Amino acid sequence: MNLIPIINTREDLDHLIGTPAHDQFIDYLKGSMTRKQDTSVYPEGYGQPGYEGPAVEPVWTDIEDLSTITRFGFTKADFQ
């Protein structure tokens, strides 16, 4: 049976150093450092019943979000 480790803390992660699970989780953490956010400006009432104005296309922007790596005791410098 191939068990997938549960990683909730930095200590959990550190117990896996040298394993593929550790490397994979580090890759996940790197990927969590940015997120896509819609930065379009929408008129009042947009998306509500009865709105009759023009459609607004989303503008997806990469936003830095270090909250996940911070939770695991890392800084941005750890991944550079």
Q: Is residue 44 part of a domain?
A: no
Instruction: Name the stretches of the chain with pLDDT < 50.
Output: none
In angstroms, the CA 42 to CA 59 distance is 11
Q: What is the pLDDT of residue 3?
A: 82
Q: What is the pLDDT of residue 66?
A: 98
- Note the residue count of the chain: 80
pLDDT digits (tens, 9 = 90+) for 5-22: 999 999 999 999 999 999
How many CB atoms sit inside 10 A of residue 14's CB? 12
The pTM of this model reads: 0.76
Q: Is residue 66 part of a domain?
A: yes
Q: What is the pLDDT of residue 2?
A: 73
In total, how many domains does the chain have?
1
Q: What is the pLDDT of residue 30?
A: 97
Domain holding 74, by residue range, is 21-35+57-80
Instruction: Report H helices in the chain.
Output: 10-14, 20-31, 67-71
